[in-house]
Amino acid sequence: MATPLLSRARVQNALPVMALVVLTVIVGTIEPTFLAPANLLVVTADTMTLFLMASGVTFVIMLGCIDLSIQAVASMTSCIVAAMLAQYGFVAVPVAVLAGALSGLLSGYVYVVLRIPSFIATLAVSGVMTTVAYIASDTRSVPIPAEARDAWLFWATGRSLGVPHEIVVGLVVLVVLGGVLALTPFGRYVRAIGSQEQAVHASGIAVGRVKILAFALSGTMAGIAGVVMGARLGSGSPTLANEFLLPAIACVIVGGTAITGGVGSIWKTFIGALTIAVVRIGMTFLGVSVFAQQIVFGLILVAAVALTMDRSKVAVVK
Amino acid sequence: MSAPASLEVLGATKSFPGVLALDDVSLAIRRREVVGLIGENGAGKSTLLKVLNGIYQLDQGEVRVAGKPVQIRHPRDAFDHGIAMVFQEQSVFSTLSVAENIFLAREAEFLRGGLIDRRRLNEAARAELAKVHLDVDPRRRCAGLTFAERQMVEIAKALSLDTRIEGDITILLDEPTSMLEQREVDLLFEIVADLKDRASIVFISHRLDEVLEVADRVYVMRDGKVVHEVASRDATIPELHRHMVGRALHHEYYREARQAPGDGAAVLEVEGLTGRHGFRDVSFTLHAGEVLGIAGVVGSGREALARCLAGLEPPAAGTVRIDGRKVALASPSEAVARGIGFIPSERKTEGLVAGLSVAENMTLAALGRFTARGLIRVAEETKAAKSWIERLSIKTPSPATPVGSLSGGNQQKVVLAKWRIAGSRVVILDHPTRGIDVGAKEDVYTLVRDMTDEGLAVILLGDTLEEVIGLSSRILVMRDGRIEAELEAPPGGKPGQVDLIARMV
């Protein structure tokens, strides 16, 4: 039995890529300089921090859960790295990322062990992390000295052979996390749990451990995103990553990962992140204010969820 | 046959890409008649039901109610034409009361000043419940009802149509007995006999003895066609089997000749095992190559015992040893690691991961064996899956096919393959043949014998008593959470159903 050319699954798979191409062409028509290679490199580099955040949360969404703490975590790690870098050097980077991982672990623990729904658990952890950020930054924006940045954050903000390092970091994450999701037992379990958790449990898999790991990974990636964001902006701030939560989740969903869990990939999230970036730039060209842009992201999120959600799995939407 | 049939299907044809699901099907349900509809999975019964319920539209042919052609485009249309369906998967809402369930979507009939007149609603519900002899308070929430009671509520809901519809009512019962114990089945049959005064009934079941007991006439479907029609009094089970499968049923239905004596080494030793609920002080020993059947009614504790042994509900007291070493049964991971495999009765929720492929489901419990340096070796996984697909003759286009698209019997074989790949030594089968067709059942029986031949030990909670008796080498009878009796069941010396029932109730 051949799959029909326009089966639902195929359309769902092809749609995100088609949307990206069409949107790129539209924006390129409005503003031809957009398609200049140098500009495309800059746009892609700008998108990578968003992709870093979205790549981690993809695992959580594939479980059928949500992580609302990522923007608070990213802000917090930007503060930690900014506050520590001049004095302690590169050690500040692993410390900041570790703080992100611990935050994710905490979310996972609250969700799995205390059995609190993930959106509440991560919302609560989000509040805690914002406070940590205020403490680390003494409630101010913390500048990163240029020499310290050039010495320790060149891996994130430099350029090699004309290619911004953000893109390299993004591609490494794409390959590594893509591989983790597609080729490791952990990734397989994440997909299986998102599809039918009870059967995975009954098959003898430590479901709770897999879930906690997924949240830790989400926190880790948000932590890395915060460090890269701080490096790019030259400062850390408790509100640095505000307004990133909605677009990050939109990236995952626009790419074709289902909010209901079980279906998705890191590659899809990568496509989703580029799509969101093109939309953002297109709106800027059209003169849509930064604040009004959130309306558009909200609409895109709703439309994408409507398209990708597996309604057979949730009889009642809550 | 002067009066027109209350429900008639004429030349019904329905195709899906690659399959002709209904091929010129014609059948008639006369007024006040109980008609049995049997056939293997994939014979077209479900498609026919979905057509009658407005979920599918026919390519050709028509449906007539009381002689008049009707269009059924929506379940609501079916309802309006007096066709009510009682589904296998129950559609009773557990958080609503019995009365609210019966009159769901009909609340408008009970409005007074914009509010629901609860007293009148409950009174009306009481009248409906009386029709099915169900003595529960209509104000009770359905969550507290037993499975059988919920089914009766659903039948009452279907019957409530007659206060609303002018003409005849036809009630379609889809596998109504598959989850019921014998006592409840008997009650259901009494009610069906009663209902004949009021409605025509289509009874769809895998259990031929039940169909013959309850139906006046039987239609047999195979490969989308009606292949046989016979009055129940003229029908015999072997003949119906032959029409269903298109060949004579194997003499050795339960492969008794292959039954092992069960004198192998003790694999599982259970002593004084007590659950947190459901069973107390259970002791038995399971030997390699043995099939140990557990018989009991709902509430006898056998399901709870099976789930406990699978690590799903940790025990409160007692000891369990596998190969002489104690096992705490604190979690399924522990049980699986120690060689216990559980084939649950709820295949779709606990047995399979619908979003994963056939191969991915098969290796789920032993993924570590297919992993090197942190990565899954997909080629080896596929190879193992292919070999099990062949060994268990699983009908699937490829190992990469989503498991959800397979038929029930083939899905069950995938669950079995999962535990074979995981190297389980003790396999617990909880209603392994529930909702699968005759041919697939026979396959499962063969596979059980294959497992015991290879020295695995099997615990069986059979779908029917006949199955428990036929397959087991030894039978434990449970009652009220305790082991009531232990009977040997050697080939040629099997206990009768009556022997077991006497100890069960």
The answer to whether B89 contacts chain A (CB < 8 Å) is no
**DSSP string across B235-294:** --HHHHHHHHHSSPPPSSTT-GGG-----S-EEEEEEEEE-SSS--SEEEEEETT-EEEE
Q: With the C-alpha atoms ordered B270, B274, B276, B279, is the resulting torsion angle positive or negative?
A: positive
Q: What's A203's DSSP letter? A: T
pLDDT value at residue A33: 87
Q: Which residues contact B351 (CB under 8 A, 6 or more apart)?
A: A199, A202, B343, B344, B411, B412, B415
A226-242 mean pLDDT: 91
B163 or A223, higher pLDDT: A223
Residue B337 with chain A: CB contacts under 8 Å: 204
Give the model confidence (pLDDT) of A140-159 as tens digits: 888 888 888 888 888 888 88
Secondary-structure breakdown of chain A: helix, strand, coil percentages, each rounded to the nearest 5: 75, 5, 20
For B7-245, the fitting CATH number among 3.40.50.720, 3.40.710.10, 3.40.50.300, 1.10.10.10 is: 3.40.50.300
Averaged pLDDT, A184-207: 95
Q: Which residues of A touch B92 (CB under 8 A)?
A: none
Q: Under a CB-based contact definition with an 8 Å cutoff, are residues B253 and B445 in contact?
A: yes
Contact A205 B352 (CB under 8 A): no
- In Å, what is the CA distance from A48 to each residue of A7, A98, A230? 32, 20, 13
φ, ψ dihedrals at A196, nearest 5°: -160, 85
Phi, psi angle pair for B239, to nearest 5°: -65, -45
Q: Which two tokens stand for residue B128?
A: 């409906």
**Closest-approach residue (CA) in chain A for B342:** A202
Residue A202 at interface with chain B, using a CB cutoff of 8 Å = yes
Q: Which of A185, A199, A201 lies closest to B352 in CB terms?
A: A199
Task: Provide ipTM, 2 decimals.
Answer: 0.86
Q: Return the ∠ at Cα A194 (arms to A308 and A58), rounded to 5°.
A: 65
> B 475-494 residues with CB below 8 A of A?
none
Which of B4, B9, B68 shows the shortest CA–CA distance to B31?
A: B4
Band of residue A3 on the pLDDT scale cut at 50, 70, 90 = very low
Examine the pLDDT at A274 and tell me if it is beyond 70: yes
Distance, CA of B311 to CA of A201 (rounded, Å) = 10
d(Cα A172, Cα B413) in Å, to the nearest integer? Answer: 41
A contacts of B355 (beta carbons < 8 Å)? 191-192, 194-196, 262-263
User: What pTM was estimated for this model as a whole?
Assistant: 0.74
Q: Is the pLDDT of residue A9 over 70?
A: no
Rounded (to 5) percent helix, strand, coil in chain B: 35, 25, 35
Residue-wise burial string across B147-163, b where 16 or more C-beta atoms lie within 10 A, e elsewhere: ebbbbbbbbbbbbbbbe
A contacts of B367 (beta carbons < 8 Å): 185, 188-189
Give residue B77's pLDDT.
Answer: 87
> Is a pLDDT exceeding 70 seen at residue A41?
yes
The predicted structure's pLDDT at residue A310: 64
User: Nearest residue on chain A to B365, judged by CA atoms?
Assistant: A203
pLDDT score recorded for residue B87: 76
Q: pLDDT-derived band of residue A1, with 50, 70 and 90 as boundaries?
A: very low
Q: Are the C-beta atoms of B225 and B44 separated by less than 8 Å?
A: yes
What are the Cα distances from residue B411, in Å, to A210, B39, B41?
26, 18, 12
Say which amino acid occupies A77: T
Q: A58 pLDDT exceeds 90?
A: yes
Q: How would DSSP label each residue in B426-472?
A: EEEEESTTTT--HHHHHHHHHHHHHHHHTT-EEEEE-SSHHHHHHH-
Phi then psi dihedrals of residue B383, to 5 deg: -65, -45
The C-alpha atoms of residue B187 and residue B90 are separated, in whole angstroms, by: 18
A61 vs A190: CA distance, rounded Å: 10
Measured CA to CA, the distance from residue B295 to residue B483 in angstroms comes to 10
Nearest to A102 by CA among A208, A193, A210, A212: A212
Task: Set out the domains of chain A in order of their start, with CATH numbers.
Answer: 8-308 (1.10.3470)
Q: Is B97 helix (H, G, I), strand (E, B) or coil?
A: strand
Contact between chains at A179 and B355 (C-beta distance less than 8 A): no
| Percentage above 70 pLDDT, chain A | 93
Reading chain B (505 residues) residue by residue, the pLDDT tens digits are 456 788 999 999 998 765 678 999 999 999 889 999 988 766 788 889 889 988 889 999 999 988 889 999 888 888 888 888 887 666 788 889 999 988 887 888 888 888 889 999 999 999 888 888 888 899 998 888 887 888 888 888 887 877 777 777 888 888 877 667 777 788 888 888 888 877 889 988 867 888 888 899 999 998 788 999 999 889 888 888 778 776 554 446 777 777 777 677 889 999 999 999 889 999 999 999 999 999 987 778 899 999 999 999 999 999 999 999 999 999 999 999 999 999 998 888 899 998 899 999 999 999 999 999 999 999 999 999 999 999 998 888 899 998 988 888 889 999 999 999 999 999 999 988 876 777 788 888 989 999 999 999 999 998 777 888 888 999 999 988 899 989 988 887 788 777 787 787 6
Mean pLDDT of A288-314: 76
**Which of A102-106, A127-131, B41-45, B454-458 has the weakest average pLDDT?**
B41-45
- Round to whole Å and give the CA distance between A165 and A142: 23
Q: Is the dihedral of CA B75, B81, B86, B87 positive or negative?
A: negative
Is the minimum CB–CB distance between A264 and chain B shorter than 8 Å?
Answer: no
